[in-house]
């Protein structure tokens, strides 16, 4: 039987026997689930083989602990990695259905806020592609990141509900469960310390296999759901207290109910800390259980177990691992700290002071009394080793999770070259002085399977025709495209692929109410809405440009569509005002008969992984305009460069490395450097001075203030004219200049395409395969194994 016939039979068999549906009555979701099960069946064997190989070779396992996994849809990824896309497409053609519709029916699993969660998802896929034994550990949120819509231009949030449909990918593991305690007391029983929690919930595992490219290896994403120890209070129920009877269940389930919709500030502190401890503690218990099944010497732990903390959210792993080793396994404190540190390493993702986690000592002592003691003990041990040390793990009544994570990690990494250097100079300057070998850099990357091969089939086909298939898991081979930048035929084909992607996006936007010309320049800024990412700089420049066009509507303007996408944290007032302003500007500009042929604004709602996959292949200009020194790396910037969008950007995060690799001539640089940013903030009235020096900027601000866009947007205008911490006014003039350079370059379409080809050809280094190999070598000391 051919692969295709067998797959077709399996789909039909699952439709009938797993879903109980007759072909003639099957809905699109039934077909999607039938395909998912048929594909999942094909992952199980390599998955088992991977586990067997890891045991057989006693390989070191990598455990990636992350509060967030922004995995998006899984079906297409799996079909592509099993290399069954053509067969699957033909099967559905034969059934009179479109594979795109079937794949498009899958809910987008948004178990993350943005870059940090998406990085974790790309890493899982790369770990499997490479064949490095690994587990992702996180929380099985019932409700992921909220769904965004707009009403009168303002963001409206609705709960996300990915689990209301059958989730075809996961396997429930009721046997893999641990009781996780909170609160209670700590007692000393003749030298043995015992923590007796007064509250407990059960962490239950749900496993999703993650298949790597070519289907050779699969790792596991294990997500924990919180369930009650006691399902139901029968006494209360029988006494007629039906609501009270369900209370234990409600209290427990709250822990895995929602993803915090904010990646910078902490809300609902107690519950958030509970979530962090819940998944970290369950993961560590699981890790030790697996270790115990193979080894009986705890000193081997650092040789066999690498635990990566994705930001400080799981930083309680330090004290918890020490607690398990000391209180439950009887090791001495110093030895326990040393073993724990040998296993643990920590990735820092931000230098923004408001985003560095701190927990009140009072809260920590109440919720995790034994851990609070151990944090003090770790701090004391560190002080004893470094008598001249200035840093402490506690400050002004708070536990500082960054220093704690640093002290308990054998390696600490930044996520781009610039970010890592700034870590050494700023937040971790003192700790870096004490531990000069601890900080390393691992510049982020993205998986080429999802972000090029699946998302951009037209470009992928062209690349494969030109240089063969090997680029998919060896992305630096894209270099071989470099000479083709000078080949007219190749450039034409490359431009045609981009044009077709733009036509698709133009249809999509048209169906959602914004008609755009597919021949205009597609200029895209998609990411979380945040002051430091400066969407307001972009929209301010849009207004200034619009006013210029209105002054001279018959000039030869380069038509452009400004596309925005992104969500604001529900409590982040300033970010929400930015969203409102963008929509208000769109409303006015798109209806302006004088200018709309030259300048439009589109803001499709509910930016997520799926929307990113649609927008990025159609983008020609990538907006990476954060205030220098504030974006740790960015990964959106890499997805764009690979897909042949040219970047307009500051020297921030991985933009610096993108520019170095693609060449300064193929990148539109503007703005102050991180150093100049620091200096400019010291200049009195820097914003007012910048506004007075640039009549275009002044005019754009006046235009907003006088109500042209409905509201007067006092928050934004007042901020830019006043404190302007993120230096929108100071960077405006150079940004405006760079945008005009972009237009000049775009006017020569053929040369633009040449630059785009060079961006694709020179961005292969940004594969997350390269990033993962870096972690394996510099941090984990882990080896790839071959399944079988």
Does residue 123 contact residue 445 with C-beta atoms inside 8 Å?
Answer: no
DSSP, collapsed to helix, strand or coil, labels residue 600 as strand
Output the six-digit token pair for 447.
Answer: 């998986």
Contact between 776 and ligand PLP by CB under 6 A: the answer reads no
Query: Which residue do the tokens 């989730």 mark?
Result: 167
- For 88-120, the DSSP string reads HHHHHHHTT--HHHHHHTS--EEESSSHHHHHH
Could you say which residues in the range 517-536 bind ligand PLP, by CB under 6 A? 527
What SS3 state is found at 375?
A: helix
Binding segment (CB under 6 A) for ligand PLP, from list 428-436, 489-497, 633-641, 661-669: 633-641
Q: Output the CA–CA distances (angstroms, integers) from residue 556 to 221, 310, 515, 540, 547, in the order listed.
A: 54, 49, 21, 22, 15
Q: Which is nearer to ligand PLP, 361 or 669 (CB)?
A: 669
Q: Which is nearer to ligand PLP, 433 or 614 (CB)?
A: 614
DSSP state of 58: T
Q: 3-state class of 775 per DSSP? A: helix
CA distance 583 to 28: 34
Catalytic positions, written as ranges? 349, 527-528, 533, 635, 639
CB of 227 to ligand PLP, least distance (A): 29
Instruction: Please give the sequence-ordered ranges of beta strands (E in DSSP) within 251-313, or none if there are none.
Output: 305-310
As measured in angstroms, the least distance from the Cβ of 315 to ligand PLP is 22
What is the dihedral sign for C-alpha 548, 552, 553, 557? Answer: negative
The token pair that represents 170 in the structure block: 């996961």
Residues of span 444-503 touching ligand PLP by CB under 6 A: none
Number of residues in contact with ligand PLP, rule: CB under 6 A? 11
**Binding to ligand PLP in span 637-696, by CB under 6 A:** 639
Min dist CB 110 to ligand PLP, Å, is 8
CA–CA separation, 508 vs 501, rounded Å? Answer: 11
In whole angstroms, the minimum distance from the beta carbon of 263 to ligand PLP comes to 10
Alpha carbon of 632 to those of 402, 418, 535, 635, 769: distances in Å? Answer: 15, 8, 17, 10, 19
Which residue, 527 or 773, has its beta carbon nearer to ligand PLP? 527
- Tell me the closest approach of the beta carbon of residue 118 to ligand PLP, in angstroms: 4
Instruction: Using the minimum distance from each CB to ligand PLP, give the nearer residue, 414 or 634.
Output: 634
* Span of 41-49, 80-88, 589-597, 634-642 interacting with ligand PLP by CB under 6 A: 634-642
The Cβ of residue 747 has, within 10 Å, a number of other Cβ atoms equal to 12
Rounded least distance, CB 644 to ligand PLP, Å = 17
640: enclosing H helix or E strand: helix 636-642
Residue 125 near residue 780 (C-beta atoms within 8 A): no
Which residues, numbered 102-141, are part of the site for ligand PLP (CB under 6 A)? 114-115, 118
Residue, CB closest to ligand PLP? 636
CA dist 344 → 259, 284, 318, 701, 727 (Å):
25, 11, 8, 50, 38
- Which of 527, 534 has the CB closer to ligand PLP? 527
In the shown chain, the binding pattern of residues 586 to 615 toward ligand PLP, with x for contact by CB under 6 A and - for none, equals: ----------------------xx--x---
> What six digits make up the tokens of 290?
């697996």
At 729, list the tokens. Answer: 């006014």
| Smaller CB separation from ligand PLP, 88 or 624 | 624
Q: Are strands 344-347 and 411-414 parallel, antiparallel or unpaired?
A: parallel
Please, which residue, 21 or 143, has the CB nearer to ligand PLP? Answer: 143
When computed from its CA atoms, the radius of gyration of the chain, rounded to whole angstroms, is: 27
Is 636 an interacting residue with respect to ligand PLP (CB under 6 A)?
yes
Contact characters 232-271, ligand PLP, x per CB under 6 A: ----------------------------------------
Nearer to ligand PLP, 216 or 643 (CB): 643
3-state secondary structure of 517: coil
Q: Which is nearer to ligand PLP, 99 or 612 (CB)?
A: 612
Report the distance separating Cα 138 and Cα 195, nearest Å. Answer: 25
Binding mask 69-108 for ligand PLP (x = CB under 6 A): ----------------------------------------
Near ligand PLP by CB under 6 A, which window of 4-12, 24-32, 632-640, 708-716?
632-640
Q: Which is nearer to ligand PLP, 323 or 639 (by Cβ)?
A: 639
Asked if residue 545 binds ligand PLP (CB under 6 A), the reply is no
- Report the nearest approach of ligand PLP to the CB of residue 454 (Å): 13
Nearest to 181 by CA among 320, 377, 331, 298: 320
- Pair 633, 443: CB distance under 8 Å: yes
Q: Give me the least distance between CB of 115 and ligand PLP, in Å please.
A: 4
User: Minimum Å distance from CB 588 to ligand PLP?
Assistant: 27
Q: How far is the CB of 19 from ligand PLP (least distance, A)?
A: 30
Which of 310, 443, 538, 635 binds ligand PLP (CB under 6 A)? It is 635
Taking phi over 0 as left and psi of -120 to 50 as alpha, with beta for the rest, 526 belongs to beta
In angstroms, what CA-CA distances link 241 with 230, 235, 248, 251, 735? 16, 9, 13, 16, 64
* Least distance to ligand PLP, CB of residue 661, Å: 17
596 contacts 692 by C-beta, under 8 angstroms: no
- Least CB distance from residue 676 to ligand PLP, whole Å? 23
Considering beta carbons, is residue 459 or 691 the nearer one to ligand PLP? Answer: 459
Burial of residue 500 (number of CB atoms within 10 Å: 0-12, 13-18, 19+):
middle
* Helix pair angle (28-56, 3-13), 10° resolution: 110
**What are the percentages of helix, strand and coil residues in the chain, rounded to 5?**
55, 15, 30
User: Site residues for ligand PLP, window 695-714 (CB under 6 A)?
Assistant: none
Pairing of strands 199-211, 171-182: antiparallel
Q: How many C-beta atoms surround the C-beta of residue 166 within 10 A?
A: 14
Contact range with ligand PLP by CB under 6 A, out of 29-37, 283-291, 338-346, 631-639:
631-639
Stretch that binds ligand PLP, among 243-251, 281-289, 538-546, 635-643 (CB under 6 A): 635-643
CB of 114 to ligand PLP, least distance (A): 4
- Residue among 155 and 608 whose Cβ is closer to ligand PLP: 608
Nearer residue to ligand PLP within complex by CB, 291 or 522 = 522
Residue 634 in the binding site for ligand PLP (CB under 6 A):
yes
Written as six digits, the tokens of 474 are 């060896």
Interface contacts to ligand PLP, rule CB under 6 A: 114-115, 118, 527, 608-609, 612, 634-636, 639
């Amino acid at each position: 039987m051919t692969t295709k016939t067998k797959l077709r039979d399996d789909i039909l068999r699952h439709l009938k026997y797993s879903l109980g549906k007759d072909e003639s009555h099957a809905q699109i979701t039934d077909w999607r689930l039938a395909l998912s099960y048929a594909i999942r069946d094909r992952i199980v064997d390599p998955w088992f083989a991977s586990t067997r190989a890891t045991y057989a070779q006693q390989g070191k396992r990598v455990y990636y602990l992350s509060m967030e996994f922004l995995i998006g849809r899984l079906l297409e990824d799996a079909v592509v990695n099993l290399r069954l896309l053509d067969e699957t497409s033909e099967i559905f053609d034969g059934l009179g259905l479109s594979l795109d519709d079937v794949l498009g029916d899958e809910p987008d699993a948004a178990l993350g806020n943005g870059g940090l969660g998406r990085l974790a998802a790309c890493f899982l896929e790369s770990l499997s592609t490479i064949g490095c034994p690994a587990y992702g550990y996180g929380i099985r949120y019932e409700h992921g990141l909220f769904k965004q819509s707009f009403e009168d231009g303002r963001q409206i949030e609705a709960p996300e509900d990915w689990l209301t449909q059958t989730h075809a990918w996961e396997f429930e593991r009721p046997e893999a469960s641990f009781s996780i305690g909170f609160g209670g007391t700590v007692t000393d029983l003749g030298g043995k310390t015992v923590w007796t929690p007064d509250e407990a919930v059960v962490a239950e595992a749900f496993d999703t296999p993650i298949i790597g490219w070519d289907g050779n290896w699969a790792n596991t994403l294990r997500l924990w759901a919180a369930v009650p120890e006691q399902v139901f209070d029968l006494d209360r129920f029988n006494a007629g207290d039906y609501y009270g009877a369900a209370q234990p269940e409600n209290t427990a389930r709250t822990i895995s109910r929602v993803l915090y919709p904010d990646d910078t500030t902490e809300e609902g502190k107690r519950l958030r800390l509970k979530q962090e401890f819940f998944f970290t503690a369950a993961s560590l218990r699981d890790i030790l259980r697996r270790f115990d099944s193979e080894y009986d010497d705890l000193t081997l732990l650092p040789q066999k177990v690498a635990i990566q903390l994705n930001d400080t959210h799981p930083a309680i792993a330090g004290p918890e691992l020490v607690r398990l080793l000391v209180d439950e396994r009887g090791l001495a404190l110093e030895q326990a700290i040393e073993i724990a540190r040998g296993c643990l390493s920590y990735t820092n993702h931000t230098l923004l002071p408001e985003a560095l986690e701190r927990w009140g000592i009072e809260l920590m002592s109440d919720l995790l009394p034994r851990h609070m003691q151990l944090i003090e003990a770790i701090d004391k041990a560190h002080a004893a080793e470094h008598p001249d040390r200035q840093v402490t793990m506690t400050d002004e009544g708070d536990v500082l999770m960054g220093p704690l994570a640093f002290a308990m990690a054998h390696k600490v990494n930044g996520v781009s070259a610039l970010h890592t250097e700034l870590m050494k100079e700023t937040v971790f300057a003192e700790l870096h002085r004490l531990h000069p070998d601890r900080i390393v850099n691992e510049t982020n990357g993205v998986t080429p399977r999802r972000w090029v091969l699946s998302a951009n089939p037209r470009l992928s086909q062209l690349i494969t025709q030109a240089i063969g298939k090997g680029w998919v898991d060896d992305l630096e081979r894209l270099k071989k495209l470099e000479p083709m930048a000078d080949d007219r035929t190749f450039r034409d084909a490359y431009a045609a692929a981009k044009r077709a992607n733009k036509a698709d996006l133009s249809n999509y936007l048209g169906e959602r109410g914004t008609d755009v010309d597919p021949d205009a320049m597609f200029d895209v800024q998609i990411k979380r809405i945040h002051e430091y990412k400066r969407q307001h700089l972009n929209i301010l420049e849009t207004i200034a440009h619009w006013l210029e066009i209105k002054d001279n509507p018959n000039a030869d303007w380069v038509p452009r569509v400004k596309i925005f996408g992104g969500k604001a944290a529900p409590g982040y007032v300033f970010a929400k005002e930015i969203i409102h302003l963008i929509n208000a500007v769109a409303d006015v500009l798109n209806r302006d008969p004088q200018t709309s042929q030259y300048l439009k604004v589109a803001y499709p709602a509910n930016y997520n992984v799926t929307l990113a996959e649609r927008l990025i292949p159609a983008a020609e200009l990538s907006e990476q305009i954060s205030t220098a020194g504030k974006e740790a790396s960015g990964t959106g910037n890499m997805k764009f460069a690979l897909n042949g969008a040219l970047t307009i950007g500051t020297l921030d995060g991985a933009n610096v490395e993108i520019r170095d690799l693609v060449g300064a001539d193929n990148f539109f640089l503007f703005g102050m450097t991180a150093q100049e940013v620091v200096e400019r903030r010291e200049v009195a009235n820097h914003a007012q001075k910048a506004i007075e020096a640039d009549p275009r900027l002044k005019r754009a601000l006046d235009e907003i203030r006088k109500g042209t866009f409905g509201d007067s947007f006092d928050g934004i205008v007042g901020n830019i004219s006043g404190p302007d911490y993120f230096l929108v006014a100071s960077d405006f003039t150079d940004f405006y200049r760079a945008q005009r350079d972009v237009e000049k370059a775009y006017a020569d379409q053929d040369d633009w395409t040449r630059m785009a080809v060079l961006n694709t050809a020179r961005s292969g280094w940004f594969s997350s395969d390269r990033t993962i190999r870096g972690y394996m070598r510099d941090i984990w000391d882990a080896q790839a194994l071959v399944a079988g």
